[in-house]
Amino acid sequence: MSRPQAVPTVQVDNDRVVVTEWRFAPGAQTGHHRHGYDYVVVPMTTGALRLETPAGEVVSQLVAGQAYYRGAGVEHNVINAHEGECVFVEIEIKPVAPPPAAGKP
């Protein structure tokens, strides 16, 4: 089954974070992906998402303004499973580079 693609808009991308707004029309998907960073999702709308994971399908209920955290390595395809538009902001947290060793440039 062919689904429309969710629309990502990167708002911030620096050495510490990537902040992306995701907009999903009804039935839209991200496509299967693996998260390389820890991340926080802040839902802007309330509704159900269907997650296709290696362990099977899961339905997740988003609540506007109720943030959640996930660790790096999560693999899934995210699909808007309700009739309205779904919007959330994803904040990916990049690792901090260690300071240079003492006496080295």
**How would you label 34-50 residue by residue, b for 16+ Cβ within 10 Å and e otherwise?**
eeebbbebbbebebebb
pLDDT in tens, the chain (105 residues): 689 999 999 999 999 999 999 999 999 999 999 999 999 999 999 999 999 999 999 999 999 999 999 999 999 999 999 999 999 999 999 998 777 777 666
CATH of the domain at 51: 2.60.120.10
Q: What is the pLDDT of residue 102?
A: 74
Domain extent at residue 89: 7-93
Q: pLDDT tens-digit profile of 72-93? A: 999 999 999 999 999 999 999 9
**1 within some domain:** no
Beta bridge partners of 18: 13, 92
**103 within some domain:** no
Does the model's pTM come out above 0.85? yes
